Amino acid sequence: MDILILGGTVFLGRHLVEAAQARGHRVTLFHRGQHGADLFPEAEHLLGDRDESLEVLRGRHWDAAIDTSGYFPRQVQTTAAALAGTVGHYTFISSASVYSDPSVPGLDENAPTGTLDDPTVEEITGETYGPLKALCEGAAEAALPGRVLIVRPGLIVGPHDPSNRFAYWPRRLATGGDVLAPGSPSDPVQIIDVRDLASWIVTAIEAGRTGVYNALGPDYALTMGALLAACQAAGDAEARIHWVGEDFLLAHEVQPWSELPLWIPATDPTTAGFSHMSSARAQAADLTFRPLAATVQDTLAWDRATLPSPHDRPRVTLTPEREATLLQEWQAQK
């Protein structure tokens, strides 16, 4: 197959290229050339900006296109419309954040999605990100009715993740010492290895799948305790995990998800279902997951190989100094 990837040089995009090439497909990348421009020299690179001009795509034909970089419905409508006559299948990478009520456990693809009072807004915030992605889904389907695969991942993790949202934990446990862990070891976590996601998307395109699929993992009830235990085993360091209560952390203005990645307070009823979403439909369509230990070990190996000093990567996670202070105060009040 000839596959066009809108993006293709950052995180999920680069893994999609690798998965497609591993299965013998010919890949064309459309990107701005700002990140990873030297990747995949054997593939065709078309440089451009979807917000400025799509001329470089006109007159070309591909069997399928994968849109990894659409955040605003205007973008997706323009791009999908331009490709409607030149691609047979269109995959839009959306988000599990589209759902309007994440307080409900077990959300599946039929759950209502969020809306915006002003659908033309183009500022991404915690309140607009999900509804904008939902509008993008609609724009893609309107341009290519019946030919769109919509993928709604949760937290994507693994090698080449620039966000630091997951690598923090393997790195922190590998550093050793006293580790602050939020909430309870029984708190649920849902993640998906980027390589499993990319491989499944390519096979879904090969099968001509359309419609909406939640893409979250694993295929069992993963807990924060099990995740940190896997990180501890991979790091092989003398790390002592201290579970710190949510009320204490919130009272000390520790920011969930950002300062302590993967932490969604169980005491917040508005997000109670965010780590309990259903991916049964995707699993029935052959989505599989590698062992957690492999994801943790590979992420840590990549992190060590590409980042001699963890402090070189932009991050908003807890600093060692703040972590130590919080642990001291937590121990003092117990």
Q: Looking at the structure, tell me whether residues 9 and 131 fall in a common domain.
A: yes
Q: What is the pLDDT of residue 308?
A: 57
Per the CB < 8 A criterion, the answer to whether 325 and 332 are in contact is no
Taking residues 80-85, what's their average pLDDT? 95
Residue 93, pLDDT above cutoff 60: yes
What letter represents residue 15's amino acid?
A: H
pLDDT tens digits, one per residue of 116-163: 999 999 999 989 999 999 999 999 999 999 999 999 999 999 999 988
Residue 47, H or E segment? strand 44-47
Mean pLDDT estimate for the chain: 93
**Total number of domains in the chain:** 2
Residue 233 included in any domain: yes
Question: CATH number, domain at 27?
Answer: 3.40.50.720
Contacts of residue 287, defined as CB under 8 A and 6 or more positions apart, other chains included, come to 196, 200, 213, 215, 217, 279
Per the CB < 8 A criterion, the answer to whether 191 and 154 are in contact is yes
Q: Looking at the structure, tell me whether residues 267 and 181 fall in a common domain.
A: yes
Q: Looking at the structure, tell me whether residues 54 and 173 fall in a common domain.
A: no
Per the CB < 8 A criterion, the answer to whether 318 and 255 are in contact is no
Q: What letter does residue 113 receive in the DSSP assignment?
A: B
Cα gap 136→70, rounded to integer Å:
7
Q: Looking at the structure, tell me whether residues 146 and 173 fall in a common domain.
A: no
Per the CB < 8 A criterion, the answer to whether 59 and 121 are in contact is no
Per the CB < 8 A criterion, the answer to whether 191 and 274 are in contact is no
Residue 174 included in any domain: yes
Q: Looking at the structure, tell me whether residues 71 and 176 fall in a common domain.
A: no
Nearest to 116 by CA among 103, 129, 97: 129
Q: Looking at the structure, tell me whether residues 180 and 314 fall in a common domain.
A: yes
pLDDT tens digits, one per residue of 208-255: 999 999 999 999 999 999 999 999 999 988 999 999 999 999 999 999
Cα gap 168→20, rounded to integer Å:
29
Q: What is the pLDDT of residue 53?
A: 85
pLDDT tens digits, one per residue of 262-316: 999 988 888 878 899 999 999 999 999 999 999 999 999 999 998 655 445 555 6
Range of the domain at 94: 2-153
Give residue for tokens 């950052």: 10
Round to the nearest angstrom and report the end-to-end CA distance of the chain.
61
Q: Looking at the structure, tell me whether residues 228 and 142 fall in a common domain.
A: no
Cα gap 27→41, rounded to integer Å:
11
Give residue for tokens 């105060």: 329
3-state secondary structure 133-191: HHHHHHHHHHHCCCCEEEEEECEEECCCCCCCCCCHHHHHHHHCEEEEEECCCCCECCE
Nearest to 221 by CA among 160, 297, 276, 159: 276
Predicted structure pTM score: 0.95
Residue 19, pLDDT above cutoff 60: yes
Residue 163 included in any domain: no
Per the CB < 8 A criterion, the answer to whether 41 and 17 are in contact is no
Q: Which residue has the higher pLDDT, 329 or 58?
A: 329
Q: Looking at the structure, tell me whether residues 177 and 309 fall in a common domain.
A: yes
What are the backbone dihedrals phi and psi of residue 301, each rounded to the nearest 5 degrees, phi first?
-65, -45
| Alpha carbons within 13 A on the beta-carbon side of 101 | 8
Residue 329, H or E segment? helix 320-333
CA angle, 96 then 196 then 28, to 5°: 90
Structure tokens at 306: 């590409």
Q: Looking at the structure, tell me whether residues 253 and 311 fall in a common domain.
A: yes
Q: Looking at the structure, tell me whether residues 183 and 233 fall in a common domain.
A: yes
The fraction of the chain above a pLDDT of 70, given in percent, is 97
Q: What is the pLDDT of residue 315?
A: 59
What are the backbone dihedrals phi and psi of residue 307, each rounded to the nearest 5 degrees, phi first?
-140, 85
